[in-house]
Structure 1
Amino acid sequence: MKKSTSSLVDNSKMAFFNDGNQLFTTAIDNNLQFLDQGIFQMTYQKKETLVTIYLAETILKICDKKQDRYINIENSYLRGVINQKSKQFGFRICKNGQHVEFFGIHLEFLNKIKIYMIQSDFQSKYQIISKIGNGYLSSVYKVQHTISGQECAVKIYEKSNLIKSSSYEKEFLMNEINILRQVNHKGLLTLQEIFEGEKNIYIVTELLEGGPIKKYIFNQNLSDQEMIKIMQSLFDSLNYLHKLNIYHTDIRFDNILLRDSMDLQSTCLINFGKAVQFPQKRRSIINLTPQEESAQKFYMKKDIYSLSIIILSIFTKKFYQENQLVDELLMKNFKNISYIEYMELSPTLQRFFEMIFTEKYKKEIDTLTCENILEFEVFKVPLKPRNSKIQISQNLKSLVRRTSKYEPRLSQREKLEQTLNIIKLPPIHGDSPTSTGKTHSTSPQSDRFISNQLASFLKAGHFTQRKNALKQNIII
């Protein structure tokens, strides 16, 4: 990113993201809350001035002793520069052929503003590893940051294709960038940087290594509680969007990925090109017209229906014609999914699907929000966590022991002591158990030994009786 001031060419006037506005602006929202970002040396039109920079959303407030100036940095161009005199690091902001430079080491400030701006040095910052996906006008690659080693994803657009395509395609791209810059939620894709080269546009985001959720949902035997947790995480992400007055409008399996394939709760919504936001100018306070309010309710219901069909697929392990079903539900036609009443589900799950998909609650659905849904009883069921492979292996190690069904053998001395001292005959006619049943080993070897010892003992007793009888001349 470090370049000398003299060698840096300003191509912002011919750039793809140029909106035609001047570098400095006077049109700002008076309700913005500016935060101090530090003191910089500003160079503008060959004049050097010491200034303090304040930041509020995408507006920079630049204050010196004489005046305050404002720059809207959204889609302006960010370049790294070095002051030829002081050799101090700084950055240049370019817009519509005009530029201003600031010198001072404030890396935290640069990290705050770079997601709103366009850079040009993608090849020097990232190395492409492999291709991981395709879109209509874009390709997605796995890349690695050359300095930090962090792996990311980059969506690459050819500028020539964007220029040749319809205006809608460019609008989808600009809309997705606009939405990604606003959101900050664990269940939504995170934007990192945007670059424009001579031929391509590069949108760098986090890498969602888990892949499509559809790949795992239908190949795993999940409990109802685990599926409910997936369902909860998705509605939580959608609720976050709706609170920002952002409506995805394109929720389907292909637009739900996992950060971690081992954690099905790490769901992440992607692809915001078709998203709709009310009001359109997020920094302005605008009262919606009745038509806009009606449209807002429509998009809210569409998102809820779309996500609920995904949830239904997860529980039934069936694919549905999502667009057709959503259209029918929006028209209050519940015939194609009336079988909800016959699904074998827990009572709380049954009530959830009945609320969304049956005619019984068609009036309530008009005012139902994601926030209402997250208050449903179905989400209050505690989840019993599964044992991980690590825990199981640790438990097995702690249970290493003799696994024979027989008890350990006694020594010869212990066997003789038991035989001579505590052996008794088995109980007869339901008598109380004798010590034999309580103490002797259950192994067949021990049983044979006891039998032999018992026979010897009886023989020895019989021999003694016969000897005494002979002495008394009594024949037995």
Structure 2
Amino acid sequence: MKKSTCSSSDNSKSSFFNDGNQLFTTSSYENLHFVDQGIFQMTYQKKIIIVTIYMADSILKISDEKTDRYIDIENICLKGIINQKNKQFGFRLSKNGQYAEFFGIQLEILNKIKIYMIQSDFQSKYKVIKKVGSGYLSQVYKVQNNMNGQEFAVKIYEKANLIKSNSYERELCMNEIRILRQINHKGLLKLYEIFEGEQNIYIVTELLEGGPIKQYIINQDLTEQEMMKIMKSLFVSLNYLHKLNIYHTDIRFDNIILRDSMDLESVCLINYGKAVQIPQRTKTLGHMTSQEEGALKFYMKKDIYSLSIIMLSIFTQKFYQENQLVDELLMKNFKNISYIEYMELSPPFRRFFEMIFTEKYQKQIDSLNCENIMELDVFKQLNNPRNSKILISQQLPNGLARRTSKYAPRFSQREKLEQSLNIIKLPPINGDTSTSTDKSYSPSPQSDRFISNQLTNILKARHFYQRKNALKQNILI
């Protein structure tokens, strides 16, 4: 029988992520929609068989001629291996000391499964460039992929600190990994892969180099439209999370970073350790208790209040103790923000802040969600395009010639000019062509009125002399 082709021993039994379960699960997942990933040669317990792999979320279905088996790949160990006999590349899945090896030509499956799994070769794949941040139990570094030179961020946890800390701190780390694996949105941090070494856990994510949004707001004089771009992007991202039944519960300036400092719509929510996810079956109508329904509304309101406080700070340039203020709002205590001068803002913004931060709309806020907020007038303003020369030219009647000069008059001026010319149109006399002026011209804005008056006077004079000459001819006849 064929022996393991892996050159190093399997460490899945001592892994930080080992939950003590077996590699193949006895659970049935027939209700999931599995997608065919290809045919592979599998080596398991010294037996070689040909199998087809199917995938649905984090579940692999391994099918041969006799039976179907399932592997829940979340937090199990992944390792690339080489078949020493034919030099074919493959991968090993291992958990709690058990492993199965797969060889095949359709290895695109690795890009799909690696975010769920734990790898062990971080040092050989990435080079650390510099430290960019730190947290209570973690450090964040900028790193570079040794193969393609692409740069990423990596959050590094010391396993000893997680083991020594209370279960809550460990749960924050595990919870963030679980949430990151489920989200895929331009306004949320993107996870690439996870590694475990002897001392550390490495969470590799995209690199956000635009800087903290708070610092950007302090240093820049933003227009109302620019502020709204930021807030609309954040509410769109939050709406995406809520549709997945995920509630961030820790929205504050420290957890909002720009992906690109030149693009205000590239704001990203980060740090999901405190996020709460309500199971879909619990949220389904008829399966939720009053207590669970109250918890869901609480988390939703907390996220909306938190993001609204960010919005308030951006518009008023006043920065608050976010957590304290959110707690007060949840207790329907509005006194600490009652002094805000709403009249300095345009009516749509004033109505929005009044709805969120005053007692006037308490009933509405209890049932408010992100989709409702996105339909408010304050966000619709961004959908109204500004006037531009391109838009104006597209709106012109087909009969009007387009101006090519950069000094082309505005549409209203041109329309008045054309109307005045059309009114003073003479019939042909003695075989002359029409005197209507429909040729294109390109006056500057300063000379527009002058040209209009001149043309009018000329046409009036020509009208007078042409009629006079016609009368003379008739009299002579």
Structure 1 gap segments, 5+ residues each = 388-397, 400-437, 439-476
Give me the CA root mean square deviation. Answer: 2.2
What's the CA shift string for 1:135-162, capped at 9, x where partnerless? 1111000000000111000000111111
- Spell out structure 1 runs of 4+ moving beyond 3 A: 280-286, 340-343, 382-387
1:266 maps to which residue? 266
2:345 corresponding residue in structure 1: 345
Distance 1:286 1:158, change over 3 A: farther
Closer, same or farther in 2 for the Cα pair 1:115/1:386, shift >3 Å?
Answer: farther
The residue aligned with 1:222 is 222
Q: Identify if the C-alpha distance between structure 1 residues 152 and 18 changes in structure 2 by more than 3 Å, giving closer, same or farther.
A: same
Q: How does 1:257-296 map to 2 (within 5 A)?
A: 257-279=257-279, 287-296=287-296
1:119/1:194 contact within 8 Å kept: yes
Q: 1:317-343 CA distances to partner (integer Å, 9 max, x unpaired)?
A: 111111111111101111111134644
Letter in 2 for 1:23: L
Structure 2 Cα separation of the partners of residues 367 and 243 of structure 1: 15
Residues 368-379 of structure 1 mapped to structure 2, 5 A cutoff: 368-379=368-379
SS in 2 for 1:153: strand
> In the TM superposition, what is the alpha-carbon distance from 1:265 to its structure 2 partner?
1.3
Q: Which residue does 2:358 correspond to in 1?
A: 358
What corresponds to 1:48 in structure 2? 48
| Conserved? CA contact 1:340–1:357, under 8 Å | no
Give matches, 1:450-461, under 5 Å. Answer: none
Q: Structure 1 residues 308, 266: closer, same or farther in 2, change over 3 A?
A: same
Output one character per residue of 1:55-90: Cα deviation in whole Å (capped at 9) or x when no partner. Answer: 001111011111111111000000011111121110
Task: Select the structure of larger CA radius of gyration.
Answer: 1
Q: 1:93 Cα shift?
A: 0.1
SS at match of 1:329: helix
Letter in 2 for 1:49: I
State the Cα distance separating 1:223 from its structure 2 match: 1.1
| Aligned residue type for 1:62 | I
Give the match for residue 61 of structure 2: 61
| CA shift for structure 1 position 280 | 8.2
Superposed displacement of residue 105, structure 1:
2.6
Secondary structure of 2:48's match?
strand
Aligned to 2:209: 209
SS in structure 1 of the partner of residue 239 of structure 2: helix
Q: CA deviation at 1:384?
A: 6.5
What amino acid does structure 1 have at the position aligned with 2:237?
A: S
In structure 2, give the amino acid aligned to 1:54: Y
Change (3 A) 1:369 1:59: same
152-161 or 282-291, which deviates more: 282-291
Q: Which residue of 1 aligns with 2:99?
A: 99
Distance 1:261 1:346 in 2: 27
Whether the 8 Å contact between 1:213 and 1:264 is mirrored in structure 2 is no
**Cα separation, 2, equivalents of 1:51 and 1:351:** 61
Q: 2:252 maps to which residue?
A: 252
Q: C-alpha offsets along residues 220-258 of structure 1, whole Å, 9 cap, x if unaligned?
A: 111111111111000000000011110000000000000
Aligned residue-pair number: 387
- Normalising by structure 2, what TM-score? 0.78
In structure 1, what is the equivalent of residue 415 of structure 2?
none
Question: What are the superposed Cα offsets for residues 393-414 of structure 1, whole Å, 9 maximum, x if unpaired?
Answer: xxxxx99xxxxxxxxxxxxxxx
**Contact kept in structure 2, 1:340 and 1:354, CA below 8 Å:** no
> 3-state DSSP class of the match of 1:139?
strand
SS in 1 for 2:339: helix
Counterpart CA distance in 2 for 1:29 and 1:132 is 42
Check conservation: 2:282, 2:288, Cα contact below 8 A: no
* 2:310 alignment partner in structure 1: 310
Tell me if the contact between 1:340 and 1:353 (Cα under 8 Å) persists in the aligned partners: no
Change (3 A) 1:346 1:257: same
Provide TM-score, normalisation by structure 1.
0.78
Q: Distance in 2 between matches of 1:231 and 1:296?
A: 23
Give the 3 Å change call, closer, same or farther, for CA 6–348 of structure 1 in structure 2. closer
| Amino acid in structure 2 at the alignment position of 1:100 | A
Tell me if structure 2 keeps the 8 A contact 1:79–1:92. Answer: yes
TM-aligned CA distance change 1:342 to 1:47, over 3 Å = closer
Letter in 2 for 1:316: T
Contact persistence 1:340–1:350 (CA under 8 A)? no
Matches within 5 A, 1:66-215: 66-215=66-215
1-structure distance, mates of 2:283, 2:25: 15
Cα displacement (A) at 1:268: 0.1
Shift of 1:108: 2.0
State the alpha-carbon separation in 1 of the partners of residues 343 and 266 from structure 2: 27
On the 8 A contact 1:77/1:95 being kept in 2, the answer is yes
